[in-house]
Structure 1
Amino acid sequence: MEIIKKTDSFVKKLPRKTTSFSARNWEEKQVIDKKLIKSMFEAGLHRGDLTQNWNPKMAPYIRGEFKGKHVINLVQTLLYLEEVCAFLEKEALKGKKFLFVGTQTHSSVVVKKTAIRTNSFFVNEKWLGGMLTNWKTAKRLVRRLNFLLMLEKTTYIQKLSKKERNDFKKEKNKLKKYFLGLRSMQKLPGVVILASQNQEMNALKECQRLKIPSVTILDTNSDPTLSDYFIPGNDDSYKSLNFLFKFFRLAIKKGRNKRQQLTIN
């Protein structure tokens, strides 16, 4: 509880001009921010990595240390969350498509759930090299998966021998494991959202190479200079990632709703 009390003093120092709450007066914003920071604390977003693993470039986003681990400054987390949500809303308003990436056990479910709810793409098993930089080849594999899934619904399988059915099932399951979340992706995404920088570094490097904007969750052992948009926070917890991705989902839906209204009018 001491961390929350200390954080309250930081909230009073928040800049009055912010992105997501510009329509509210300052007093209302202070109340909202304090509640959000408390929720972030309860979600474990303040829990950084071991102090010996830290990246000095993350110093501006670290509050201190506790029992051998860094404590992330949740005021910074809140400010960067606002910035990221404003960016996602703007990109959704433009009609951009989103790709969510999280291949670790604790991030896999969050990534898939958020992608499905926002009608976006996802990779939540393993990032295969060239999924973006060699999209021409990856797209052929996606088409192959779609073809096999279509055949599965016909009587074609019944005509195969036992060995052929096993081979069919093996190929289908392998492609499904890696490309299920890309089945409807016809071209490269407009924005890639990564559940972790260190754990999804290969995906991040492909985004950099293709100049695709990326949003990344940064733990205290990450490098903020490698990401276009980022949020300092615990990337090792389902609960903390689920908290952030809920806001991503709302921001994307808000942008799309605005786009739909503009189309109607």
Structure 2
Amino acid sequence: MANIEIKDLIDSGVHFGHLTRKWNPNMAPYIYTERKGIHIIDLYKTAAKIDEAGSALSKIAASGRKILFVATKKQAKDIVSDKAKVVNMPFITERWPGGMLTNFVTIRKAVKKMAYIDRMKKDGSFEALSKREKLQINRQRAKLEKNLGSIVDMTRLPGAILIVDIKREHIAVAEAQKLNIPIFAMVDTNSDPRPIDYVIPSNDDASKSIEKVLSYLTDSISEGLADRKKTKEQEAAPAEKKAAVKETVAKEAAVTAEKKAPAEKKAAVKETVAAPVAEEKKEEK
């Protein structure tokens, strides 16, 4: 797991919560103190929670399941998309499409529609359309790409969902809860942590804070992916070894057959020559 330094978390402003008058009492266990009307998050608890969440995410990645990153707020969008791309995971940074998880079949149909439009452009059938139809299809394709382009490779429901700001992404939280999908989230002092499976108490408004926390989590995901790759290679090795042994045995059998061939040929010739002589001897008798 990542080596989490408290000083790095402080430098990134992870400890800054919201105004005390905006706090959610359920976040009390994660609050260290109050300073100038602002709650200060206990970073030792944050570090422990990052480590716990990282370990769980690593296992999910190692199992081959996808982790869906979600953040539609302005200061988090670019960071989340960049981090998700590094570990090749799907992400939502535009408006959350209603039914993204609970009505996944319909969402997949919309994704397939993009692929269908792309095929039309390749096979030439797109060119046969009128100018107006082309314009409508291009607009539709652009809209689908904007909202769903980042989940093209997500062919089934994700193994987990990673959220920045659960108050803003409450619909995503509700859908994941309904389907019992594990929820990992950065939770600020103004939010209710109870629906979240893996709470990471942290400042979810500052880009530096989001960048720092997600860096630790994506490092853990990368470790899980590396473990999966290593396991696959180890599983493939015995199969390759068996194939090599089989090939060696086949070659040896072929060489033995070649050696036997001349001897068998000589025996056949000898038998052919001997047959008439034996018949002659019988006739003489």
Deviation of the 1:157 alpha carbon: 4.3
**Structure 1 Cα separation of the partners of residues 164 and 80 of structure 2:** 8
**Structure 2 Cα separation of the partners of residues 45 and 261 of structure 1:** 34
1:206 counterpart = 2:175: yes
Q: Which residue of 2 aligns with 1:236?
A: 205
Q: Secondary structure of 2:69's match?
A: strand
1:123 counterpart = 2:62: no
Deviation of the 1:177 alpha carbon: 1.5
Structure 1 segments of 4 or more deviating over 6 A? none
Q: Residues 222 and 256 of structure 1: is their aligned pair in 2 closer, same or farther, counting only changes over 3 Å? A: same
Q: Which residue of 2 aligns with 1:4?
A: none
**Structure 2 Cα separation of the partners of residues 84 and 50 of structure 1:** 26
> Which moved further from structure 2: 144-153 or 214-223?
144-153
Give 2:163's aligned amino acid: L
Q: 1:101–1:123: 8 Å Cα contact kept in structure 2?
A: yes
**Structure 2 Cα separation of the partners of residues 244 and 152 of structure 1:** 42
Q: 1:37–1:78: 8 Å Cα contact kept in structure 2?
A: yes
1:105 counterpart = 2:88: no
The equivalences for 1:129-148 within 5 A come to 129-148=98-117
Deviation of the 1:107 alpha carbon: 1.3
Give 1:74's aligned amino acid: L
Q: Residues 126 and 68 of structure 1: is their aligned pair in 2 closer, same or farther, counting only changes over 3 Å? A: same
Matching residue within 48, 51, 54 for 1:79 = 48
Give 1:94's aligned amino acid: S
Q: Which residue of 2 aligns with 1:90?
A: 59
Q: Which residue of 1 aligns with 2:140?
A: 171
Structure 1, residues 3-32: CA drift from partner, whole Å, max 9, x if none? xxxxxxxxxxxxxxxxx48xxxxxxxxxx6
Give 2:185's aligned amino acid: T
Q: 2:121–2:127: 8 Å Cα contact kept in structure 1?
A: no
Q: Which residue of 2 aligns with 1:7?
A: none
Q: Secondary structure of 1:224's match?
A: coil
Q: Which residue of 1 aligns with 2:218?
A: 249
Give 2:150's aligned amino acid: G
> Between the two proteins, what is the percent identity of the paired residues?
35
Q: Which residue of 1 aligns with 2:157?
A: 188
1:60 counterpart = 2:29: yes
Structure 1, residues 144-168: CA drift from partner, whole Å, max 9, x if none? 1222234345644444333222211
Q: Which residue of 2 aligns with 1:38?
A: 7
Matching residue within 50, 54, 62 for 2:19 = 50
Structure whose alpha-carbon radius of gyration is higher: 2
5+ long unaligned stretches in structure 2: 235-285
**Structure 2 Cα separation of the partners of residues 67 and 173 of structure 1:** 47
**Structure 2 Cα separation of the partners of residues 110 and 221 of structure 1:** 22
Q: 1:146–1:183: 8 Å Cα contact kept in structure 2?
A: no
Structure 1, residues 35-54: CA drift from partner, whole Å, max 9, x if none? x1111111111111121111
5+ long unaligned stretches in structure 1: 1-19, 22-31
Structure 1, residues 149-190: CA drift from partner, whole Å, max 9, x if none? 343456444443332222112111111121011111111011
**Structure 2 Cα separation of the partners of residues 260 and 118 of structure 1:** 13
Q: State the number of aligned residues.
A: 234
**Structure 2 Cα separation of the partners of residues 116 and 253 of structure 1:** 11
Matching residue within 233, 237, 250 for 1:264 = 233
